[in-house]
Structure 1
Amino acid sequence: MMSENEAVSGADRAGERLRAAREAAGLSLTDIAARTRVTQRHLEAIEADDFGALPSPTYSVGFARAYARAVGADEVAIAALVRGQLEGGLRARQESLDLAPADPARVPPRGLAWTGLILVLLLVGGYALWRSNWLASGSAPEIAMSTSTSTPAPEASEQPAAAPPPPVAAPAPATGPVALTATDIVWVRITDAAGKRLFEKEMQPGERYQLPDGAEAPVITTGRPNMLKVTLGDTEIPPLGEPEKRIKNVPLTAEALRARLAATAPGTPAGPTAPAASSPATGAPAAAPSPSPAGA
């Protein structure tokens, strides 16, 4: 199978460029690990262009960008090289799977497959014929009659009507300060209604920012909304956008976040209906109104 390095043979490789920049700066991998907080094992995999040893493609790009900043290299160009090598490796693996010949030992002969299909059809047809004969012989009514005469059912009037369950109170709305926590390297810009920048930087994994009290109609712009954990007080809000898809001027007010939370919450089931009351004359159930939902 072609490796990820071989898939980009003849092209510039991110690992080779980063290693050359590190050696030109007179730094060791230990120095880079201390500057980037990336483990030396992952840095060695990056220099060897062995991105399969990293946790995921997202981590591969993020670690390579951090490495590039530490040695003064062009992090945008390095990130593009890493993505190209990852895509080339995926294409190479797919082509090798497509070109691999099928194992004849694992493919059943056509005659055997037809024989199995015919046997299955015969079994299904035989079961259907037996069931139709069994129902026509009258066994089903006899069983039903013996069951109905064995134990007399209690009168409907003897069964007490069960009380309807109490209504479930609606959960309290989420409140508290709005905060953003980065789960990976992500650039963020937050402005208010007047266009004033409240916050703008490339956040590192684990870094947290809380919106100031009184911020007027704050909105966020970022290219990786799935790498931000947004909370309103103690409540986590669903992602602000699709993975790796830029969002622009998305509201960060408490009202907008509560609306996003309500839009993604599962629907509230309808309340249970009260059991039907029995008619004293005929024993037939009489219609009873359903209890009103909570908050109606």
Structure 2
Amino acid sequence: MTEAERGDNATLFPQPVGERLRAARERHGMSLAEIGARTRVPLRHLEAIEASNYGALPSPTYAVGFVRAYARAVGEDEVTLARDVRAEANDAPRVTPKYQPYEVADPTRVPSRGLVIAAAGVALAIVVLAVLWLGSSLFRGGDGTPAPAAPSVAVAVPAAQPTAAPKAAPQVTLTATDEVWLRVYDAADKTLYIGTMKAGERFDVPADANDPMINVGRPDKLRVTLNGSVLPPLGDGRRAIKDVRVSADALSARAGGQAAPAAASPAAAAPGTTPAAASSVPPAFAGESTAPVR
């Protein structure tokens, strides 16, 4: 038979897909095991394809996929071979094979990485829910009812005591009702105020002064108040007064009818001066204060 006759026979009676694949494999000098390693198709399925035993394959769809992988491994036209094997597999008698695990030939059919991550996330969520359910069951009784809660213990908290506001120090105020001269000083003869006050002028005796005393020519021209309350005059104006205590305690005792303690003579008069000179009244007020008031 000539080459032309063989070509005409090949056109009229094409070779099965399995024989064409085996011939291509042998031309490349490859074994069937090498094809299986490249395509990851089980060896028994490759043998069934070369023998055109498509009934041993899971389905025609798998036969097409396996043939495509086989054709790529040996450098053949996978589109043409896939079309031809589909026709051969559909015409082949089908048998119900026993289930046997196999590897997927087409890498594109392997589950994607995203699908694997999603499946792992679902599995982790199931595990967490199971742990939470088991943990909550520890707090339930044997019959499924919630376990009684531990009795609460009421602790008495002492009420906050209101902080008492600091008591204001008593304030002594000297107010002139007419022009009057006066001097205010403490037990050490330290002058706190000295001068002539005009009507309406006032002087607040320092609350922290050490035993304050007063020297005034016309005590009847001086209004004395303690915390805003008017006290009796320190004198009737017939004579000047000096060394009269004007502390809050002394004025309170005087207003209550008690005798105010006697004032001691100033102990710190200026050197070279006598007590009388240190607390003397100006001549105009002294002359007026010593004369009887008519």
Q: Which of the pair has more CA radius of gyration?
A: 2
For CA contacts below 8 A with separation 6 or more, give which structure has more relative contact order: 1
TM-score scaled to structure 1, two decimals? 0.30
TM-score scaled to structure 2, two decimals? 0.30
